[in-house]
Amino acid sequence: ATVPLELTLVVAATARDMGIGANGGLPWTGLRKEMAYFARVTKRGDGNAVIMGRKTWDSIPPKFRPLRGRLNVVISRSFAPGLPKDPADGPDASPVEASSLEMALEYLRRAKVDSAAESANSRGGRVFVIGGAQIYGAALRLVEARRVLLTRVVSDFSCDTFFPLALGTTSVAADKTADAPTWVQRSRAEHAAWIGEEVPDGVQTEGETQYEFQMWERVD
Ligand code: FOL
């Protein structure tokens, strides 16, 4: 039996135009508390996985990758087709290499049902999609994409990469197209209950930068 797998996208994006990146990296520097939130939320619980594109993998400082305590799955069209192989040295040593998001999910579905102790996702961990734009776009086309943990960066930054869905301006976001899913912003209490920690209220300030933690869910 296949376990339905639910995807949560985690992203920090500018309020003005959903900018997420510039020149191969994040648009900002020094959002240490924001990054700590990302790390805590994606680690909490057992057996979580983070799925990312190859460019996002390259953007993570080598000393931080693979992201510790999470099964890292990296997607590149140049990886071997078919079901990804288990990483050679356990989940913290090397990432799982998948040729598409679909193959990454197929791998994680099997990891859920197999009893291999090494499988970082075998105890029902959460699956997070952590970017970048191409992988967010692929994820948003799937029914499995249920939730977005959005850090809405109020301060403006010049960006060359954008999150492919407008969220965070009003409490309901609907694509203009027929059949497109509707996204609603959940309350701070619902957000806290889902991530398992208190959510700081209102606009946060780190250095010169202002941002707000939000949770959005797709309603169908
Ligand atoms: N989501 C949010 N909310 N903020 C982000 O900065 C973010 N970044 C990415 C995806 N979703 C995000 C992709 N970029 C690291 C670096 C870049 C990156 C994601 C993660 C990283 O080094 N993470 C370490 C924390 C290191 C530290 O403590 O400074 C980790 O263990 O998660």
| Residue ranges covered by each domain of the chain | 7-219
pLDDT tens digits, 96-118: 999 999 999 999 998 655 444 44
- pLDDT at site 4: 75
Of 169, 162, 168, 166, nearest to 20 by C-alpha is 162
ipTM value, please give it. Answer: 0.98
Q: What percent of the chain has pLDDT over 70?
A: 88
Q: What is the pLDDT of residue 121?
A: 43
User: Which stretches in the chain have pLDDT values below 50?
Assistant: 1, 114-123
Relative to the CA of 39, which ligand 1 atom is closest?
32
Asked if 137 contacts 31 with a C-beta cutoff of 8 angstroms, the reply is no
The sign one gets for the Cα dihedral 103, 114, 57, 136 is positive
Q: Is 134 in the pocket of ligand 1 (CB under 6 A)?
A: no
Residue 116: its pLDDT value, please?
A: 43
Burial of 96 (0-12, 13-18, 19+ CB in 10 A): buried
Query: What is the CATH T-level fold of the domain 7-219, as seen in this structure?
Result: Dihydrofolate Reductase, subunit A (3.40.430)
Report how far residue 31's alpha carbon sits from residue 54's, in angstroms, rounded to the nearest whole number: 23
* Contact 91 CB / ligand 1 (< 6 Å): no
What local confidence, expressed as pLDDT, does residue 118 receive? Answer: 43
